[in-house]
């Protein structure tokens, strides 16, 4: 059997990375069950294609929180990208700009926000809220000034910083960790706030004037509470299985969350997405955009900016082919393709 391009990509990345760095990127929390189940959960989604439709032309362009992008495929934030490649987030941003892809930049980026903005990429800032809320103000100001289009507040990492159990420490200084922050207190304990609440969403919105996305939702009731608290969009995510092991796969929770919210509330998803067919499944379950996490990171490790572009183009090609075969000409046409295993679509 021919090796999947995704498996070959992971192998190339592993060859080029120190063992501790690769393990940090690849591993999940606890026994790694959530991380391992993520990809399989998308494989279990079943679709009921439409027929007798003209699919001679497929248009993947999408609008995400007011920004027009070439595809509903986006790049999720990943920490310590300069340990994957010396150009780190800058290479990722250039790849996003070259392909017209939405990029979410980690708040602990090793590249200045101003440099990311200069690439011309459409980008959001992912934000961890520290216990001392005042520490985020300069970070948000810099991101807004550099052209960030939204703030994705991570809500599923309360109290601790996420780390795989490593035999050796990673060189965060070499990664430029927290380059965009002023206060060294953000580098260590006490870490992320354990008392996140609605006021934090309102504060971020007030400080930036930007849309606020709540990232890290696994429950429909939490999704509704987030919107009621002022969130402009909900991002279904379990932190790549790196926070709480045995957390439900996002492919399993996405549909119920979409059904709980009004149609005009955007919903996004990540977690185990490895192909254009997975993206189609995410769109069919109700996502407005689907984020890739580890795949672009492995592309960065394997080939820098060009490696990320290759990943994005491959997944885009797979999505276009999958949409056509499913009888769809636009990403939004995928809504409703999921088959009821008993009664059909």
On whether 243 is known to bind a ligand per the annotation, the reply is no
On whether 154 is known to bind a ligand per the annotation, the reply is yes
Catalytic, 239? Answer yes
On whether 163 is known to bind a ligand per the annotation, the reply is yes
Q: How far apart are CA 150 and CA 144, in angstroms?
A: 8
On whether 133 is known to bind a ligand per the annotation, the reply is no
On whether 177 is known to bind a ligand per the annotation, the reply is no
Name the token pair of 312: 């994005």
Q: How far is CA 324 from the centre of its chain?
A: 25
Q: Is residue 144 within 8 Å of residue 204, measured between CB atoms? A: no
On whether 171 is known to bind a ligand per the annotation, the reply is no
On whether 271 is known to bind a ligand per the annotation, the reply is yes
> Which stretches does DSSP call E strand in 56-198?
62-64, 67-69, 73-75, 102-106, 123-127, 151-154
On whether 176 is known to bind a ligand per the annotation, the reply is no
On whether 82 is known to bind a ligand per the annotation, the reply is no
Q: In the chain, what's the furthest Cα-to-Cα distance? A: 61
List, in sequence order, every residue forming a beta bridge with 197; answer none if it has no partner. Answer: none
On whether 215 is known to bind a ligand per the annotation, the reply is yes
On whether 237 is known to bind a ligand per the annotation, the reply is yes
Q: How far is CA 260 from the centre of its chain?
A: 21
On whether 64 is known to bind a ligand per the annotation, the reply is no
Q: How far apart are CA 75 and CA 62, in angstroms?
A: 15
> Which stretches does DSSP call E strand in 16-114?
62-64, 67-69, 73-75, 102-106
Number of Cβ within a 10 Å radius of residue 3: 8
Active-site residue, selected from the candidate residues 85, 181, 192, 239: 239
Give the annotated binding-site residues for glyoxylate. Answer: 24, 128, 163, 239, 242
**Binding-site residue set:** 24, 126, 128, 154, 163, 215, 237, 239, 242, 270-274, 293-294
Catalytic residues: 239
Binding-site annotation, residues for FMN: 126, 154, 215, 237, 270-274, 293-294
């Amino acid at each position: 059997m021919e090796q999947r391009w995704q498996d070959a990509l992971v192998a190339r990345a592993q060859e080029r990375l120190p063992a501790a760095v690769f393990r940090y990127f690849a591993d999940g929390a606890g026994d790694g069950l959530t991380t391992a189940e993520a990809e399989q959960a998308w494989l279990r989604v079943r679709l009921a294609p439409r027929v007798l439709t003209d699919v001679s032309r497929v248009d993947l362009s999408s609008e995400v929180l007011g920004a027009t992008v070439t595809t509903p495929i986006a790049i999720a934030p990943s920490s310590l990208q300069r340990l994957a490649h010396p150009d780190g987030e800058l290479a990722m941003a250039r790849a996003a700009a070259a392909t017209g892809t939405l990029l979410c930049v980690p708040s602990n980026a090793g590249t200045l926000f101003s440099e990311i903005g200069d690439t011309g990429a459409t980008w959001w800032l992912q934000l961890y809220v520290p216990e001392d809320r005042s520490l985020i103000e300069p970070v948000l100001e810099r991101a807004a000034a550099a052209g960030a289009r939204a703030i994705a507040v991570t809500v599923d990492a309360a109290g601790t910083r996420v780390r795989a159990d490593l035999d050796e420490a990673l060189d965060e200084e070499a990664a430029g960790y927290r380059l965009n922050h002023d206060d060294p207190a953000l580098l260590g304990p006490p870490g992320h706030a354990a008392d996140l609440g609605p006021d934090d969403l309102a504060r971020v919105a007030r400080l930036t004037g930007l849309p606020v996305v709540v990232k890290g939702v696994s429950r429909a009731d939490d999704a509704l509470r987030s919107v009621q608290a002022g969130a402009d969009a909900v991002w279904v995510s379990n932190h790549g299985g790196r926070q709480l092991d045995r957390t439900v796969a996002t492919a399993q929770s996405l549909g119920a969350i979409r059904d709980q919210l009004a149609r005009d509330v955007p919903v996004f998803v990540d977690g185990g997405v490895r192909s254009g067919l997975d993206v189609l499944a995410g769109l069919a379950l109700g996502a407005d955009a689907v984020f890739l996490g580890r795949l672009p990171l492995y592309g960065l490790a394997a080939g820098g900016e060009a490696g990320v572009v290759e990943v994005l183009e491959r997944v885009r090609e797979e999505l276009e082919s999958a949409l056509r075969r499913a009888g769809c000409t636009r990403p939004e046409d995928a809504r409703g393709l999921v088959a009821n295993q008993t009664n059909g679509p």
